[in-house]
Each structure stands twice: as structure tokens, then as C-alpha cells.
Amino acid sequence: MTATPDDGAPNAAATDLAQSPFLSRFRPRGPVWLATPALLVLLVVLAYPLGIVVWRSFSDPAIGIDNYVWFFQSAVNRAVLQRTFVVAAWVTLACLICAYPYAYAMTIVGRNMRLALILCVLVPFWLSGVVRTLAWVILLQDSGVINSILRGIGLPPVKLIRTLPGVVIGMTQVLLPFMILPIYSVMKGIDTRLLPAARSLGAKPWKAFLQIYVPLSLPGVYAGAIIVFILSLGFYITPALLGGPRSILLSSLVQNQVLSLLNWGRGGAMGVVLLVATFLLLAIAAPLMRQKHTASRREV
């Protein structure tokens, strides 16, 4: 770009072109309009379809809340709803138990070991989601890996495929990284000198850990738990492939209603139930995730 040194002639058109960044104290009304294409896409492919789902749940086949009445009246449906939440809770708990020590270990090991641990967390993402579920089929089936191992050491085989525990195990493995990463990122920011400081004041090591470290790590725990729980609610592929007729979850019911029975009213109603549950959870959990007291770690 050739720009000859201007001797200062005012340029009216140039005034329209927004200026470069101002004083850091006073941020300008930024170029918010740049987000318009993204918002448009969301409007067309997210808001409108969701709107249709909600609308049809109240209007197909007739206007009213019939679909919801049908859903909550059926004992089978209620059982499925309950099962969905229970499974999500189990998965969240399992993830939490596995993730917390793992994330903690990531903060205290050396650089190379940490890299290896992070790699283990990220590698699962390189395997296609569907293929991962297939892997669990292989692992859990009667002639699968786990039972082979059990048989090998003389224990009786366990039926894991097409059972709820099998579904929980599969979902836990898929969702575990989503629990590890938030917890780790919060733990990373906890000042490493707090625990020795507490000990120097007379606190026993396990007490210092419980009273000082754990509370500071909670925002990450809440974030991870919410993410995992919400993802579990909407989970579809893994329960479909690993579960049997007695472990159907809500997402499978929705798919069944719409794809097989072409019943958008009922399918939509169940979808709306899922949506409402999700947003309620988000509303409750969002304030918990805010780190009110930041514990800063001084980088050495």
C-alpha cells in the first residue's frame, strides 16, 4: 500500500471509517455487527427449528397440551425420564470420581508427565464418536475384552452389553475429558503456596487439603459437572448402541417418535422437556461457576 505522507488535509470520508483503538480506559462501541452472519446462521438453523419443535409440541395434532399430558401420564415414559436423569447423575458422579484425582495429579507432576496425561485426555477425541461407541461394544459384549479378561483370571463373565451399567461406563469414558479439563484449568490457578502456608499454621495435611484446596477447586468441579450432566441428558448414540430395550433413554424415545412414527407432537414435547431441564440446570449452576475469590498463582 503506497501512502504518501499526507500534509494533514482533512478527509470527510475518513471520518466515517472507524478509528483505531482508543485509550484502554474507554472502550469504544465496538464492531458488534461483525457477529451478524453468525447470528443469522443461528437464527435460521437453531432458533427457527427449535421454535418449530416447541410449536408442534403444542399444536400437533391439535392445539393444547395433549402431548405433554400423554407424556407424563404414561408410566413407561415417566420411567424413561427418571432413568435419563439417574443415568446422567451416575455418569456425572463417575466422571467426577475419576477426574478429580487425575486433574490434581496433572498439576503436581513434571512437564513431561503432564504432557503424557494431557495426551491421554485428548487422544479419545481423535477417534470418531461412533467408532468409540463401537469400541465399547467390543469391550463390553459377552465375548468382549472385559469378559475375556475375567474368564482369563477365572471369574464368571458379567453381562454388560445392553445393560444400564454398560451404558454408564461407555458414557463416562466419552464424557470424562469434559470433566477433567475444567477442573484442571481451575486447579492450575490455585496458588501452590497455600497448602504449605496452612500447614505452617498448624493444619494437618488432609485437613488443609479439605478446607483450603477443595473449596478453591469447586468452580471447576461445578463447571465440569454441569457440562457432563447436560451432555448426558442429550446423549443419543452411545445409549442407543450400548443399551437394550430395558435401558432406553429419553433421547432414543424422541428419535423413535419422530423418525419412525413421524409424530412431531409427542417427539417435540419430549424434546421440550429435555430443553427445559437443560436450561433450568444452566440457570441454577451458572452462578456457582463464577470464581468469586481468585487464588492467583505466581508464575516462576
Q: What is the DSSP string of 103-132?
A: HHHHHHS-HHHHHHHHHHHHGGGGS-HHHH
Site for another protein in 152-181 (CB under 8 A): 172-173, 176-177
> Would you say 9 or 63 has its CB closer to another protein?
9
Of positions 217, 254, 265, 289, contacts another protein by CB under 8 A? 254
Q: How many residues does the chain have?
A: 300
Site string for another protein, 22-41 (x = CB under 8 A): xxx-xxxxxxxxxxxxxx-x
Q: Tell me which residue of 65, 52, 84, 138 sits closest to 277, measured CA to CA.
A: 84
Instruction: Please count the CA atoms within 13 angstroms of the CA of 130 that sit on its side-chain side.
Output: 0
Using rule CB under 8 A, residue 251 touches another protein:
yes
Residues ≥6 apart with Cβ < 8 Å to 53: 264, 268, 271, 272
Site for another protein in 277-296 (CB under 8 A): 278, 282
Residues ≥6 apart with Cβ < 8 Å to 160: 140, 141, 144, 146, 147, 166, 169
Site for another protein in 31-90 (CB under 8 A): 31-39, 41-42, 44-46, 48-53, 56
> Would you say 87 or 272 has its CB closer to another protein?
272
Shortest CB 17 distance to another protein, Å: 6
> Would you say 72 or 209 has its CB closer to another protein?
209
Q: CB–CB of 80/167 below 8 Å?
A: no
Shortest CB 278 distance to another protein, Å: 6
Of positions 80, 144, 171, 184, contacts another protein by CB under 8 A? 144
Site for another protein in 207-226 (CB under 8 A): none
